[in-house]
Structure 1
Amino acid sequence: MPDDTEAARVRRPRMTPDREMDLLNAALDVLREVGYEGLSMDLIASRARCSKATLYRMWPGKPQLVAAALYATRPMKPEEIDTGTLRGDLLTMVELLATQAAKDTALISAMAHAVLTDEELATAVRTSLVEPWSDDLIGVVDRAVERGELASRPAAANFLPQLILSVTVTRPLLSGGLADADFLTSCVDHALLPALLHS
């Protein structure tokens, strides 16, 4: 016969996808306000109006929760983009990035420092965010191969995730402005696309 704790667990309703997104968005809202070092599961639970136990049932700890939130709320989902051409797919991706630049550039820059100093966070970000996102991005190139636009996957495809992320995040440092759609479109036409087509 199950004890009271197990019975309560069995009776507990599953979290809906919408509620899970509420928790992930709450985590990022607090992260933007206090930074990674100041972030705690207590603060996230308070903002999300849930218990810490609810958070820990979904994620082992703060690093995994943050990585999951960054992946789930990413502005572009390359696996859902298929315009019929490689250039069209790349332009769609960077346009979506540009719409989120004001909100996400500072967040990603701050996370970069935290990743360098927190190995558990670095592991969570690599496995839950960077690797799946990189696979999705390279998948855009693979679809171009399947359509016959490219004979095979070019070597430059392996650098596509780093290039897109770096030009987006470093734009304020190098030029004093955010990576808007015009800038990123120019990057696609003059850097990314030539590298993919001719490598």
Structure 2
Amino acid sequence: MHQFTYTSQLDELNDEALLEQFQQGNTLAFEELYKRFWGVLYLQAYRILVQEEDAQDIVQEVFTALWTKAASIELSGSLAAYLYVATRNRVLNMLASKRTYQTHLSSLKHFISGTDNNSLQYITEKEMTARMEREIRALPAKMREVFELSRKTALTHREIAHQLQLSQETVKKQISNAIRTLRHKMAHFSFFC
């Protein structure tokens, strides 16, 4: 098949034809798809997240996935629909991940507040978050890696297990152990404050 090399020729192709060109190795076709979709996908993500940086990260992840998985993509509908769904799913995963992280942070704060209310009045949320990050960095390497992937990315337990070549049960256990360890450490933190 004729390889399109000029942007003007690529402009004339529909989205699916561009994807096909990219799947055949034409990186200019990917650049054209990026130009066509970046703005609308960003707006879709931004409308929900209301954070520029988060919306940019989501769109970047969608295009990174398109780049790395292009050969295996088989569309059942339009490429636009595929990209919109991929963006929406990543946004929802990010929201769930942030809610989970905030829930754990809130849970730790509640746990600590039950131990010594007087000391907590001196601890700001910023100090608490900084301490939490230090304690996360102090976790054993594999536990920290699993915990951070589960809390700071949009990956599911299954995706983390696949990426790290672990069982889903191991991933769940590492996350549970990390939370237990962090609760214990944060309780001591409030005691010494």
* TM-score of the superposed pair, with normalisation by structure 1: 0.30
**RCO greater where, 1 or 2, for CA within 8 Å and sep 6 or more?**
1
Give the number of the structure whose alpha-carbon radius of gyration is greater.
Answer: 2
Q: TM-score, normalised by structure 2?
A: 0.31
